[in-house]
Amino acid sequence: MAKLRNFDWRQQATLLSKVRMNQDLPDKASSFSDWLKQKAESEGIQVSTFWRYLNAASYAIDNPIGPWQAVTQAEQIPADISAEVLELAEKNRSCRAAEGHDRTVADVYHKKLHRMDLLKIWQNYRDALPSDTTARGRGAKRPVVNKGRPEHQAEVLKVDALNRLQQMAPECLGYPAAAQLRVVKPESV
């Protein structure tokens, strides 16, 4: 399947949102999902990509945290923030305390965190999620950490500490500014 070039996902998300909201479907489409499948096929991309665009734009607009308060439509999302980055930020919300998530989302807006950073955060927190749970399938809810369970609290606390250490400047820990520090995730505490 060919990928689109010179493509702005934010414009596509705006179009998809308008069609979905107004149910302004062509006659040959029986539902929004059907229309989305047809559009994906004609554009040469996976239908899941369009769903990612829609969900990422909705997340950015519906969660006015910090600098995101100014974003009221998809085109206002900074151009170099991808839909995948917003998808990962949204995934991380299920595992983190509100203040940690708010800080992460603000850092995404200011481009201090990128896709790989968010992926590492997600991989670290994923261990705190209930085992054998996913958000796959129609109507499935995204798994959430039960912060009332001691084993989940301990895992979240450990990951929070590791993430904060990774974000600290070396001189804050008494090392020279030029020092390169790596935080290695312990297998068990």
Domains and CATH numbers, the chain: 1-77 (1.10.10), 81-131+144-176 (no CATH)
Q: What is the pLDDT of residue 51?
A: 93
The pTM assigned to this predicted structure is 0.70
* Tokens linked to 21: 């909201």
Q: Is there a contact between 90 and 58 (Cβ–Cβ < 8 Å)?
A: no
H-helix or E-strand spanning residue 174: none
Residues of the chain with pLDDT under 50: 1-2, 189
Closest CA to 95 of 133, 66, 61: 133
pLDDT of residue 143: 61
Contact, 25 vs 31, CB < 8 A?
A: yes
What's the pLDDT at 11? 93
How many residues in total does the chain contain?
189
Tell me phi and psi for residue 173, to 5 degrees.
-105, 10
25, two tokens: 């479907």
